[in-house]
Structure 1
Amino acid sequence: MAAIERFRVCVALDDGPGHPTLPGAGFVLIPELSWRHIDAPTEVVQVGQRVSGEFLQFDTFDAEARLSLKALQPDPLQSFADRTVVGQELRGTVQKVPPIGIFVDLGDGVIGLVPFREVHGRPAARPAALFER
């Protein structure tokens, strides 16, 4: 890992294309770091850490190799879909309660949304108050 920026991570490639200002650099955009939600890239990588990524594309305009770290990891949503059936009762931990519904952590990197219209079968006047801690 060569550098961590606000919107991407710069990787010094062992064997990569030339770059006008950063020769042999590859770039990982924040959404390509992990399947799970992260608040900062440092939750996944540190400067100096060796990583493996999948080549996504070469941006000819900026002369940059675009990489993905999450592409080499199993997709938790696909695993969840493979083991879950419609109508199955699920348990989880309430993560947050915005105006649209309830976000529930189901484990293994899967966060689900229960829209308020599905809570008690009808919209509630102040639904968030029902689930606040």
Structure 2
Amino acid sequence: MPDYFHGYAVVGLVLVVGVLFVACAFAAGRLLRPLAPTPEKLLPYECGVDPVGEGWAQTQVRYYLYAFLYVIFAVDSVFLFPWATIFAGDAFGGVTLAEMFAFLGFLAVGLLYAWKKGVLAWT
């Protein structure tokens, strides 16, 4: 039974050490930093420009689409690296190849759909 709880004890110890490390870092920062608030320092700062007007602005949807496409291809690359290491094994060659072509096929269909809808055009 002690071997069963040993893994949980290690995880708990790492969690406690991590929380203590963050708490000590925040406490040290609070003790060591100079504290001299002025009205200028309490203003919101954005790229050196004084804030003017409301804080709400519209953003075009295409930027979210580019971000979404990036996430899709980042996930694709995350799955391709383990596939390349497993593909070298003797027992997994054919099955792994078929599964990866199915995965890449789904991504290709999504890419073709995005291209056909005009999402990839910069104009």
Same fold at TM > 0.5:
no
Q: TM-score range by the shorter chain?
A: under 0.3
Structure number with the higher helix fraction is 2
Structure 1 length-normalised TM: 0.22
Structure number with the higher strand fraction is 1
Structure 2 length-normalised TM: 0.23
